[in-house]
Amino acid sequence: MLSVNAFSLSLGDKTLIKDLSFEIADGQVLSIMGPSGIGKSSLLHFLSGSLSANLTTTGEAFLNDEALHTKATQDRKVGLLQQMPLLFPHMSITENLMFAIPADIHKQERINMAQNALEKLGIPDKANALPKELSGGQQARVALLRTLLSKPDYLLLDEPFSKLDPALRRDVRAFVLNEIRQANIPALLVTHDPEDAKAMEGECLELGVME
Amino acid sequence: MPLKHAKWITGTISLLLVFPVAVGLIGTLLPAFAYFPPLGEYNLSFTPWYNLFAQGEFYASLKLTLITGIAAPLLALWFALSLLAWGYQRPFFQKIEALLSPILAIPHAAIAIGLLFLLSPSGWLVRLFSPWLTGFDRPPNWITVQDPYGVSLILALVIKEMPYLLFVMLATMRSIKARESLQVGQALGYSRFTLWRKVLIPQLYPIIRLPIFIVVAFSLTVVDLALVIGPNTPSTLAVTLLRWFNDPDLSMRLMASAGAISLMLIIVAVLAGWEVAHLSFSKLSRAERSNGKRFGLTDNLLRLGVVLGLLALLNAFVALALLPIWSLTRRWRFPDALPSQWTWDNIERATPLLMDLTLNTLTIALIATLMACVISLVMLETKRHSSKVSSLSKPHVFDWLIYVPILLPQIGFLFGLHVLLIYLNLNGDLCAIIALHLMYVLPYVYLTLKGPYLAYQEEYLLQANRLNHRPWRNYLVVKIAMLKPAIFTAFAIGFSVSIAQYLPTLIAGEGRYSTLTTEAVAQAASGDRKQVGSMAMLQAFFPIMVFWLAQFIPPRWTRWRLVLKNLFSRRNTSCSV
């Protein structure tokens, strides 16, 4: 369970978000909507620990009652998925997946895990392909599986569907939701698109402009 | 790079950059005022300056330096702008663009030697037209190279500088939106050349001001080119100073130092004059830009520039082709257009010497360039760190410090450093040569890497660190690996800069270490064209090879790596089965 307590965000003397609190259960996706510039992405950065210096925040975040906001990024075990799939262009698909699998797992097991992921994607023949040889939808799915293979404790999704073809979006959304449920971790989705929020079958928070 | 203590690193590197420059300057300035402890001179005075101004040779050399140092960059700029205006975005021009980097890579001494083979009275050009047109059956008694006005030196400088300026200009085309401007302008009925004159060149100039300054400073101070193809007695000021510095009468050093200081002042004065000229020129032409005329007579200036520029390029290629021909020649009597007998003997005979020179050259170039690459990466990473904290795009202390060694004249400055080397007991040491090369290689590597490195999408590295937290490893296998093309190119440029160095090798090595460049320049005047041709050819070969590899390897790297990896993993599985 991921919980955020009384989160406030301000840029200079302008308050963007005030006293936001929510909880996300394991395997659930909470969607956050709102116009751009409202601080949605900054909330994600707060949770992933990569907030830029000119923003001031207050509030707390807990993962299963353990404080998150006091930890350094590398100790948080956070998965982040963005608009760009950010697959490493100079590594094959298998290498991209293996990159994320924790190093303490035995080598043969790591290879099997990557192979399973490829089969789940229906592209076992693309193991040695480079990311650019995959379609946009395939890249998005590989990026999600790569993030999940790093065994994150919670997942942050920053408009991961916005760069996809409308026709593809539905499939990818369903795939994402299914994988999150299987991984059984809390996930937070930030989006512009009400369809995204609806497809995640979870709660939806709408952030408005502060007067 | 998971750097800590960015401030400390910035400070240390800045000091390391400033230190040799300061020592070199002080080491030139003090002797210029007669303070030179190694010779027992402790009393500050103006005597070196009186001596300098009493030398007739100083004025003659100065005149030559001003003629060649101003004419060459002007012509190079004119030709480069004309070629760009004529060919930009045309398919055949892309072929010329592809030829630019090899010319850029070739050490200027090799080009000068090729030009010597082409243009001298017994050179290929006269042979080509003899005896059927000229009637000569022996070389004419003309002075075509090393002429007293420095025309051949100007030509050599133009051939070296025009491709560089063209290269720099092509890199700025996107930022001034050249293609879009041309489309808009041509839709308004403007001719191509007029558009370049009125719209694009005025925008282009401020961006390439610094590269132009580098070219001007280089033209005013070049030594090796001037030794090979420049006038002698009197020679250009830089060459005259070199002779004074090397004079057995050590007290000449004081006068030479005063000369070196005046050369620095001349650079400043010429650059200032250049800027004033540009300002008044752009003021005068401002009204003309918006007079609405779609064509103009001055367009012909650009047309003429195209023809001359192409001729200069052709010259360069023929000159380069002559290097291997001479090194394979057994017998080549005067009016023949080609050797009558060919042989490998020249190369075979010279092999022990060539091997020795090549070994020195490559050792120095590889070590200096590798160091420059690593230092550049550290510098750029600290720059990225500090610009993240303060504002973006603010020029970092490195960005102007790095230019200082390129803008200062090597002559004088390096002799000042030499005194330090003697104190440190490093004179004639390979380490000292590498250190001096590094000083000249580093700026080019840094400047080449800067754009791509700072434009890198840091998100890839951040994502990598979220997926597995091994920052150093991720920096290497993700960021550096993705920047491979830029790093390879920077390496190639640094390598070619090192290969071309003449004075740093000569001064730090004190003649104990010869490279292909120092030996080729030393023997250029000897007349043994077969041997000089072999050296100059090798001198040109390595940089071209490295440039070609730098273009060839990066796009294929990943494919090759995966093929190799699959070969091995297949072998492994078949073994285990």
pLDDT band at residue B340, thresholds of 50, 70 and 90?
A: confident
Q: Where are the domains of chain A?
A: 2-85+136-206
Q: How does the average pLDDT of chain A come out, rounded?
A: 88
Pick from B122-131, B357-366, B399-408: least confident? B122-131
Give the helix/strand (H/E) hosting A110: helix A107-121
Q: Which of B493, B499, B497, B498 is nearest to B547 (CA)?
A: B493
Q: Looking at the complex, does the CB of residue A48 fall below 8 Å from at least one CB of chain B?
A: yes
Q: Looking at the complex, does the CB of residue A83 fall below 8 Å from at least one CB of chain B?
A: no
* pLDDT score for B391: 55
Cα end-to-end span (Å), chain A: 32
- Asked if residue B489 lies in contact with residue B546, where contact means CB atoms within 8 angstroms, the answer is no
Q: Do A89 and B465 touch (CB under 8 A)?
A: no
Residue B333 CB neighbours (<10 A): 10
Q: In the predicted model, is pLDDT for residue B390 greater than 70?
A: no
Tell me if residue A165 falls in helix, strand or coil. Answer: coil
Percentage, residues of chain B above pLDDT 70: 97
Q: Express each pLDDT in B301-326 by its tens digit.
A: 889 999 999 999 888 888 888 888 88
Q: Which residues of B touch A150 (CB under 8 A)?
A: 466-468
Q: Give the residue on A whose Cα is nearest the Cα of B469.
A: A74
Q: Do A79 and B466 touch (CB under 8 A)?
A: yes
Q: ipTM score here?
A: 0.88
Interface test with B, best of A76, A78, A82, A88 (most B CBs within 10 A): A88
Cis, peptide link before residue A85, omega less than 30° from 0: no
Q: What is the C-alpha separation between B561 and B564, in angstroms, rounded?
A: 5
- Asked if residue B468 lies in contact with residue A149, where contact means CB atoms within 8 angstroms, the answer is no
pLDDT band at residue B577, thresholds of 50, 70 and 90?
A: very low
Interface test with A, best of B461, B466, B476, B567 (most A CBs within 10 A): B466
Q: Express each pLDDT in B178-205 by its tens digit.
A: 888 888 888 888 888 888 888 888 888 8
Q: Are strands A29-33 and A204-206 parallel, antiparallel or unpaired?
A: parallel
Tell me if residue B467 falls in helix, strand or coil. Answer: helix
Q: Are strands A154-158 and A78-81 parallel, antiparallel or unpaired?
A: parallel
Q: What is the C-alpha separation between B166 and B77, in angstroms, rounded?
A: 8
Q: Tokens at residue A87, please?
A: 């697959």
Strand-by-strand arrangement of the A66-67 sheet: A14-24, A2-11, A55-63, A66-67
Percentage, residues of chain B above pLDDT 90: 36
Q: How does the average pLDDT of chain B come out, rounded?
A: 87
Considering CB atoms only, which of A74, A86, A130 is closest to B463? A86
Q: Do A103 and B468 touch (CB under 8 A)?
A: yes
Q: Which residues of A touch B386 (CB under 8 A)?
A: none
Domains in chain B, CATH or no CATH each? 1-45+350-577 (1.10.3720.10), 47-343 (1.10.3720.10)
- Sign of the torsion angle spanned by Cα atoms B181, B185, B191, B196: negative
* pLDDT score for A211: 45
CATH match for A2-85+136-206 among 3.40.50.1820, 3.40.630.30, 3.40.50.920, 3.40.50.300: 3.40.50.300
Q: Express each pLDDT in B502-548 by its tens digit.
A: 999 999 988 889 999 998 888 887 777 788 888 888 888 999 999 99
Rounded to an integer, the average pLDDT of A70-99 is 89
CA distance A174 to chain B (A): 23
pLDDT band at residue B389, thresholds of 50, 70 and 90?
A: low
Q: Do B467 and A99 touch (CB under 8 A)?
A: yes
Q: In the predicted model, is pLDDT for residue B260 greater than 80?
A: yes
Q: In the predicted model, is pLDDT for residue A122 greater than 90?
A: no
Q: Give the residue on B whose Cα is nearest the Cα of A96.
A: B464
Tell me if residue A58 falls in helix, strand or coil. Answer: strand
Cα–Cα distance list, B70 to B46, B78, B147, B217, B259 (Å): 29, 12, 17, 10, 19
| DSSP-derived secondary structure letter, A130 | -
Taking the model in full, what pTM does it have? 0.87
Q: What is the C-alpha separation between B155 and B71, in angstroms, rounded?
A: 10
* pLDDT score for B296: 77
Q: Looking at the complex, does the CB of residue A53 fall below 8 Å from at least one CB of chain B?
A: yes
Q: Do A50 and B462 touch (CB under 8 A)?
A: yes
Cα end-to-end span (Å), chain B: 42
CA distance B488 to chain A (A): 15
* pLDDT score for A18: 86
Q: Tokens at residue B21, please?
A: 């420059």
Largest CA distance in chain B: 89
pLDDT band at residue A69, thresholds of 50, 70 and 90?
A: confident
Q: Express each pLDDT in B23-32 by its tens digit.
A: 999 989 999 9
CA distance B474 to chain A (A): 10
State the count of interchain CB pairs (< 8 A) between A and B: 47
Q: Express each pLDDT in B73-88 by its tens digit.
A: 999 999 999 999 998 8
B128 or B15: which carries more pLDDT confidence? B15
- Asked if residue B237 lies in contact with residue B62, where contact means CB atoms within 8 angstroms, the answer is yes
Residue B517 CB neighbours (<10 A): 26
Rounded to an integer, the average pLDDT of B131-156 is 80
Q: Do B460 and A88 touch (CB under 8 A)?
A: yes
Q: In the predicted model, is pLDDT for residue A160 greater than 90?
A: no
* Chain B residues within 8 Å of chain A (Cβ atoms): 389, 459-460, 462-470, 478, 481-482, 484, 557-558, 562, 566
Q: Do A74 and B389 touch (CB under 8 A)?
A: no
Q: Give the residue on A whose Cα is nearest the Cα of B473.
A: A99
Rounded to an integer, the average pLDDT of A50-62 is 84
* pLDDT score for B37: 81
Q: What is the C-alpha separation between B69 and B51, in angstroms, rounded?
A: 24
Rounded to an integer, the average pLDDT of B226-230 is 89
Phi and psi at residue A33, to the nearest 5° = -120, 165
Q: Which residues of B touch A48 (CB under 8 A)?
A: 466
Q: Do A53 and B389 touch (CB under 8 A)?
A: yes
Most confident of B270-279, B378-387, B457-466: B270-279
Q: What is the C-alpha separation between B18 and B11, in angstroms, rounded?
A: 10
Q: Which residues of B touch A89 (CB under 8 A)?
A: 482
Q: Which of B93, B70, B74, B73 is nearest to B83 (CA)?
A: B93
Q: Express each pLDDT in A19-40 by its tens digit.
A: 889 999 999 999 998 888 788 8
Q: Do B465 and A102 touch (CB under 8 A)?
A: no
Amino acid code (one letter) for B566: N
Buried b (16+ CB within 10 A) or exposed e, B74-88: bbbbbbbbbbbbbbb
| DSSP-derived secondary structure letter, B247 | -
* pLDDT score for A163: 83
